[in-house]
Structure 1
Amino acid sequence: MSANFVNFRFIIGNKTSHFYLHKIFTKTLFLGKKLVFLPSCHSTNDIAADFIGQGLASEGMLVYTDHQTQGRGQRGNVWESGVGQNLAFSLIVQPRFLQASEQFHLQKAISLGVYDALSTVCEGVKVKWPNDIYIHDRKVGGILIENSLRNTQVQWTVVGIGINVNQKEFSAPLAASLAYFTGEEYDLFALMEDMVLHIEARYLQLRNGGHEVLSAQFEEVLYWKNEWHEFEAESVFQGQIVGLAPDGRLKIETSEGLRLFAFKEVVFKK
């Protein structure tokens, strides 16, 4: 850690945590201009939410750690991550240009930013609906977006991103990393800055009204798009993903017709 970092104390409930604050990112316009580093924490999303709750947050603030002990994935799963080997960070944004009904547009923009960054270093990157990042048939990362609403408008958003980068051994059979596929070792901070730069470009595209383009490009990189596979809802069935409904629901074509699924209503089997 650079000696330029300044040590602060942050009160969370009745516990005091130490974090380090320094303005480092130079390529972005506003994302990552204020960085908060914690050597270890339970969840960067929770820390970011605490900053918002205590009135200490600003748009673009980034919280990251070398060791996230309770990183969350979808369906309440714990995200496995080796110490100092992977990326675990959260961005704070204020997408007040979005209505509550438009929340999934933000998921599309962030996912495409992560896809753009990873595709520059590895082939075979896909987005598994709604928020996982795959390379070929192995999971390398996930995105957890948590929105704070006021009436029908999005006020604050915490964007949590976990990417397996240099770790090579995993207990989960489908987990993998960039290093697993490329054999390379990556500078984590440089990779994070590049990823945030791509995310910022997609976020600005969304803010400037690029919903339709983002939706079309998001569908192009969907995992299992236009491939017949096995899924499970009330029962196991065969189908192929053909796109998304305007509200973000997954469209799966089956032998009995088109079916639409919301988050947690369908499981990818094989």
Structure 2
Amino acid sequence: MFLTDKNIIVLSELDSTNNYAKQLLAQKATQGTVVLAHYQHSGRGQVGNSWESERGKNLLFSLILKPDFLIAAQQFYISKIVSLAMVKVLSQYLKGVKIKWPNDIYVGEQKIAGMLIENWVKGNNLESSVVGVGLNVNQEKFLSDAPNPVSLKQLLNEEQDITAILKEFLLQMDEYLHILNRGLFDEIDEAYCKNLFRNSGWHRYKKGATEFEAKITGIGSFGQLRLEKRDGTLSEFMFKEVEFVL
């Protein structure tokens, strides 16, 4: 197995699980080390966004990986398999779980989880990754200006076991790491596209101040979102270059 649930470091509070995991990585932490926090006062999302979480209510963790079998150009596969693993876990509880490109997890039109993945390259290969995950589990009220958060408890009307969800996630991640290690990239690509939020039909997007209608046609090898506009124009967008209009 690539991962087990035997090396989970549980902390009451810290600034960011990713920051703590990076310190451990600098001290030669082993693959599969997990930093789990009951509360983080500077939780981070993609490109400087913050992550709201009530103390003790949600699943906040970072996972250390050492996927040195991947070349640097394949690093978006880490994002793909983390997203797929979370979809697999949450689909045991809910219907309609999707990946909002690049790696937010949605239920219907609401965000239930977000991820911050940081990769390091050595030579031509990926040396290590820190995978930070925030999953809304038992929080019932959200106070930030985030437009559409939702939690498992809000959707299921009962408390959920945070540790059990983490252990299930690690099992699913282990399976996807094996698939990746075997070089079954097409299998991962197909599953990722199949589980994308708004993966069919025409939807509204925004680039800068301009809104337009488009449909998703695929994902590029570096993770770029491929869109076709109504006039047939094909475009590719990297992270934060385009927004979904929700």
TM-score by length of 1: 0.86
Q: Deviations over 1:37-57 (max 9, x none)?
A: 1111111111000011123x0
Q: Confirm whether residue 246 of structure 1 aligns to residue 218 of structure 2.
A: no
Pick aligned residue for 1:89 from 61, 68, 72: 61
Contact between 1:110 and 1:203, CA under 8 Å: does it hold in 2?
A: no
Q: Which runs of 5+ in 1 are unaligned?
A: 1-27
Partner deviation per Cα, 1:111-170 (whole Å, 9 max, x = no partner): 101110010011111100001011110111111110111122111111111100011111
1:261 and 2:233 correspond: no
1:216 matched to 2:190? The reply is: yes
2:11 is the counterpart of 1:35: no
Shift of 1:33: 2.2
User: 2:132 corresponds to which residue?
Assistant: 160
**C-alpha distance in 2, partners of 1:151/1:232?**
37
Greater CA drift, 143-152 or 123-132: 143-152
Q: Any idea what SS the aligned residue of 1:264 has?
A: coil
Q: Is the 8 A contact 1:31 1:59 kept in 2?
A: no
Partner amino acid, structure 1, of 2:171: L
Per-residue deviation, 1:236: 1.4
Task: Spell out the pairing of 1:83-232 with structure 2 (5 A cutoff).
Answer: 83-171=55-143, 172-232=146-206
Q: Is the 8 A contact 1:240 1:254 kept in 2?
A: yes
- CA distance, structure 2, for counterparts of residue 54 and residue 93 of structure 1: 14
Aligned-residue sequence identity (percent) comes to: 37
- Structure 1: how far apart are the matches of 2:235 and 2:147? 29
Q: Secondary structure at the match of 1:195?
A: helix
Contact preservation (8 Å) 1:31, 1:62: no
Following superposition, the deviation at residue 199 of structure 1 comes to 1.4
Deviation at 1:29, TM superposition (A): 5.6
SS at match of 1:202: helix
2:6 partner amino acid? K
Q: Which amino acid aligns with 1:141?
A: A
Aligned residues: 242
Amino acid at match of 2:19: D
Preserved contact between residue 144 and residue 160 of structure 1 (Cα < 8 Å): yes
Distance 1:29 1:131 in 2: 22
Point out 4+ residue stretches in structure 1 off by more than 6 angstroms.
Answer: none
Structure whose alpha-carbon radius of gyration is higher: 1
* Contact 2:21–2:130, Cα closer than 8 Å, also in 1: yes
1-side partners of 2:38 and 2:24: how far apart?
19
SS of 1:108's partner is helix
Instruction: List alignment gaps of at least 5 residues for structure 2.
Output: none
Alignment-mate amino acid for residue 192 of structure 2 = F
8 Å Cα contact 1:145-1:157 kept in structure 2: yes
